Amino acid sequence: MKQPSVYLKAGKEKAMSRRHPWIFSGAIDRVEGQPELGGSVSVRTQSGQFLAWAAYSPQSKIRCRVWSWTESRRIDAAHVRELVRAAVAYRHDLGLGAQACRLVHGEADALPGVICDRYGDLLVLQLTSAGAERWRDALVEALQSETGCTRIYERSDVDVREIEGLELRRGWLRGDGATEIEIDEGGVRYWVDVARGQKTGFYLDQRDNRALIRTLAQGREVLNCFCYTGGFSLAAMAGGAKNVLSIDSSAEALNTARQNVAMNGYDETLMHWQEADVFQALRELRNAGRQFELIVLDPPKFAPTIAHAEKAARAYKDINLWGLKLLRPGGLLATFSCSGGISLELLQKIVAGAASDAEVDARILERFQVAPDHPIRMSFPEGEYLKGLLLKRI
Residue nearest to ligand SAH (CB): 231
E strand segments, the chain: 5-8, 22-24, 28-32, 40-44, 50-56, 62-68, 101-105, 114-119, 122-127, 151-156, 169-174, 180-185, 188-193, 221-225, 243-248, 271-275, 292-297, 327-337, 362-369, 387-393
- Which of residues 39 and 323 has its CB atom nearest to ligand SAH in the complex? 323
- Which of residues 193 and 298 has its CB atom nearest to ligand SAH in the complex? 298
Does residue 298 touch ligand SAH according to CB under 6 A? yes
Does residue 337 touch ligand SAH according to CB under 6 A? no
Does residue 46 touch ligand SAH according to CB under 6 A? no
Burial 69-95 (b: 16+ CB within 10 A, else e): beeeeebeeebbbebbeebbebbeeee
Does residue 203 touch ligand SAH according to CB under 6 A? yes
To ligand SAH, the closest distance from the beta carbon of 183 in angstroms equals: 12
Q: How far is CA 357 from the centre of its chain?
A: 31
- Distance, CA of 52 to CA of 334 (rounded, Å): 42
Give which of 229, 261, 225 is closest to 119, Cα–Cα. 229
Instruction: Give the residue, chosen from 228, 266, 273, 380, that forms a contact with ligand SAH under the rule CB under 6 A.
Output: 228
8 Å CB contact between 275 and 253: no
8 Å CB contact between 347 and 387: yes
Active site residues: 338
Binding segment toward ligand SAH, per CB under 6 A, in 40-48, 83-91, 97-105, 242-250? 242-250
To ligand SAH, the closest distance from the beta carbon of 279 in angstroms equals: 6
To ligand SAH, the closest distance from the beta carbon of 329 in angstroms equals: 25
- Which of residues 43 and 321 has its CB atom nearest to ligand SAH in the complex? 321
Does residue 13 touch ligand SAH according to CB under 6 A? no
User: Within positions 343 to 372, which residues make up the interface with ligand SAH, using CB under 6 A?
Assistant: none
Q: Residues for the chain: how many in total?
A: 394
Does residue 255 touch ligand SAH according to CB under 6 A? no
Binding site for ligand SAH (CB under 6 A): 198, 203, 206, 226-229, 231-232, 247-250, 253, 277-279, 298, 300
